[in-house]
Structure 1
């Protein structure tokens, strides 16, 4: 394991580095490196892996609606009800909360997902154990609103505790394991108290006014996280969503949509201490809550314009939706491969979301996309794993990475079409190259390419036989040794 990745070490020397929020969606304004050496070591290992699988799955997949959010009574463009379920909020909520009674994903087979993800070159995974609607995809003792409840048809299946089955299957193939957990719980009577109607994504009562109720919610949250940390094997990442659940100095703070929200302190120091006692070195991702429990940042659905001086991960959907939608239009294999290249060239990890459907499987085209990515990674993966950013990071359609601790730079030439058609020569200006270039090769070929070097510019000449072989797809990668 490489424990001294230069940009990670730089990050560890950087206390609360400032960043531009305009660069990426939903990111904190500061970063605080973890103090625990075990966390830093695991974080370095996570950075080396670069490519991971995200899965949003719950009873909501039966309707093909956005995960949980149709329950939220905010007037946001991404929150919409209607169709067969109607538009009356309270009727909709009642019907939504009955979805578990018809949830029976009989084709659930996590080993099939593991095989496809491993073949694609993914090396870690994050699974939604509970989203904001509060429906638990694990066998919690804290609520009956769970996949193993007797009113859920799938509960009679021997693999009904899907979180445990998924984690064990991926762990057997050496994946790092991440547990997504929603801090807000819209099913809990101690978050959305039934005495009041919900107003927005936040509690519908003031925790300061009703402290006993809030204390019950804090205990409920801590207990559920404790369950995940004790009954599900080794956990490497606790990926916490719902950034509004945080302490605030002044209650009644105004949210981005103008709504009021309260001080939602759930005692993260206590939760973190408990979780790390049970899972030493646990990476915590308290999303958008800057501080010691946000060990890496998570720009959503986009790639920062330039490298960031701390660990980060682009989380992105394979199509347009986080949850299952039978009609969702998936990104092309070329788009996905090139996004991976761009993310890594900026020093980030790429967490790609694929949502299982109501039958318990992915859409067939999801497997096709992963197979295509895997074919590319088998040839070019050395430019991705364990690499670091390399100035000038990108130049036109060329994106750069560098092998850590070696004098090797990778120039990833992105194609406009699926099949690569290279020009007779390409020119690259790699600031990181100090000294004379020894050789240049095209990954996938053992042949040495002719080149000329002038200061920091290299002109690579490509024989006709390698320009359009029919085997190169999405991006050609040149290895430059100096």
Structure 2
């Protein structure tokens, strides 16, 4: 079910991304922060909430869109299902929550920034908001008595202390708010369920509610680098007198947020304009470099939220995705869903350890790199150092164990013969190579052709 949801939900988003008209930021502090973020390349995303106890899709199972399917005891009665779903807050007690454990695993994997879901579309807040009691620190939630109950703050503090950039995911739609889904009317779909033209005062209350919650995140949670806003359908309508005009007043929000967090990167995702400082293609890798900053957000498994029987991508596959994304100038934000007890699946830790072993050797071709033409040829993918003095050619193996061919040819789109060619896994190994017509031809030693001991890929450095 979750795979189907993902395909349907994000199809519209990806269509919008194909039409993006990027507006570069003008604030020097934002420009500087954005460049810093682009150098990080690899980040951790986490979807977590009471829904993790059931192992169901985050938020969407309470949406009455006609493509949504539900399972379980209340599947055949929407209102009973929604009541039971919202009642999950009364049993949410993730006592295994240990952010230092996550930090250690993410840092060892080579991740450099984190984005956490402070509130998803269902409206449950994973931070100590004063705007609603539907929150992890609320009186009805068992975990509210835990000293680490304000998990957003605890997570940000732990990752920030380890040198990570921090990002707050925040959903613009809120299906728990009476000013988005007004109880007077039944919800019809994922949109607001009343006319914002006919009831402007109610919509103004929702605008203020959203503003106040974001203001809380910008004032009580330390330095925030990224405000990652989801729910792109909540936006100004292009139609005159549209009853579903959901203008959230982004100018007001952005002015406040940038004043409180100078240099803040705004990501009003899938809403092209001055508040989408970088683009966020979801569950996909663009076929070629984009002309603006971007980040692929992708699940490690099939689901954004925790699922007991989720199928996780191999480290081989994840690293292949990372190399392709970085060679095209993007970042990878890899998602993991903690379970209802507050921990990751053991497979997640294993994958991150495997990724980290590769990054420890080859991270030089990833961090602070830039794309360089021809970007890729066959299974070779290219990056260059920020100063342009080094070119990296990453040979992606089809098998987990690397078996290199006898000859590898690397195009050099720069004038002059390289001074040195090495393999990152064995920098002291002398390689035989020649240069002619902007092409470096490397003679691969026999020992690297069959029993190299390398996994997933091999990276050559040209200086």
**DSSP 3-state at the match of 1:98:** helix
Pairing partner for 1:45 from 26, 30, 36: 36
* Structure 1 partner of 2:416: 435
Give the Cα separation in 2 of the matches to 1:24 and 1:461: 42
* Structure 1 partner of 2:397: 415
Q: Which runs of 4+ in 1 moved over 6 A?
A: none
Matches within 5 A, 1:13-92: 24=14, 26-27=16-17, 28-76=19-67, 79-92=68-81
Confirm or deny: 8 A CA contact 1:26 1:299 kept in the other structure: no
Q: 1:468, CA displacement in angstroms?
A: 3.7
In the alignment, is residue 366 of structure 1 matched against residue 348 of structure 2?
Answer: yes
In the alignment, is residue 386 of structure 1 matched against residue 368 of structure 2?
Answer: yes
* Structure 2 partner of 1:235: 224
Quickly say closer, same or farther: Cα 1:23–1:459, change in 2 above 3 A: farther
In the alignment, is residue 326 of structure 1 matched against residue 317 of structure 2?
Answer: no
Give the Cα separation in 1 of the matches to 2:81 and 2:72: 11
Confirm or deny: 8 A CA contact 2:369 2:385 kept in the other structure: yes
Q: For 1:409-461, what per-residue CA distance to the aligned partner results, in whole angstroms no more than 9, with x for missing partners?
A: 1000000111111111111223x232112221010212131111220222111
Q: 1:370, CA displacement in angstroms?
A: 0.4
Pairing partner for 1:130 from 110, 115, 119: 119
Give the Cα separation in 1 of the matches to 2:51 and 2:160: 27
**DSSP 3-state at the match of 1:225:** helix
Give the Cα separation in 2 of the matches to 1:82 and 1:113: 31
Q: 1:26, CA displacement in angstroms?
A: 4.9
Q: 1:359, CA displacement in angstroms?
A: 0.8
Q: 1:251, CA displacement in angstroms?
A: 5.0
CA RMSD of aligned residues (A): 1.5
Q: 1:22, CA displacement in angstroms?
A: 11
Deviates more, 1:80-89 or 1:102-111: 80-89
* Structure 2 partner of 1:178: 167
Q: How many residues align?
A: 451
Confirm or deny: 8 A CA contact 1:439 1:449 kept in the other structure: no
TM-score normalised according to structure 1 size? 0.91
Any gaps of 5 or more consecutive residues in structure 1? 1-20, 254-260
Q: For 1:356-407, what per-residue CA distance to the aligned partner results, in whole angstroms no more than 9, with x for missing partners?
A: 0001000000000000110000000010000001111111111000011132
Confirm or deny: 8 A CA contact 1:390 1:401 kept in the other structure: yes
Confirm or deny: 8 A CA contact 2:65 2:190 kept in the other structure: yes
**DSSP 3-state at the match of 2:140:** coil
In the alignment, is residue 460 of structure 1 matched against residue 459 of structure 2?
Answer: no
Q: For 1:193-250, what per-residue CA distance to the aligned partner results, in whole angstroms no more than 9, with x for missing partners?
A: 0000101111000111101100100000000000000000000000000001111131
* Structure 2 partner of 1:189: 178
Quickly say closer, same or farther: Cα 1:473–1:312, change in 2 above 3 A: same
Confirm or deny: 8 A CA contact 2:13 2:270 kept in the other structure: no
Give the Cα separation in 2 of the matches to 1:367 and 1:470: 26
Confirm or deny: 8 A CA contact 1:24 1:303 kept in the other structure: no
* Structure 1 partner of 2:295: 313
* Structure 1 partner of 2:98: 109
* Structure 1 partner of 2:279: 297
TM-score normalised according to structure 2 size? 0.95
Q: 1:24, CA displacement in angstroms?
A: 4.9
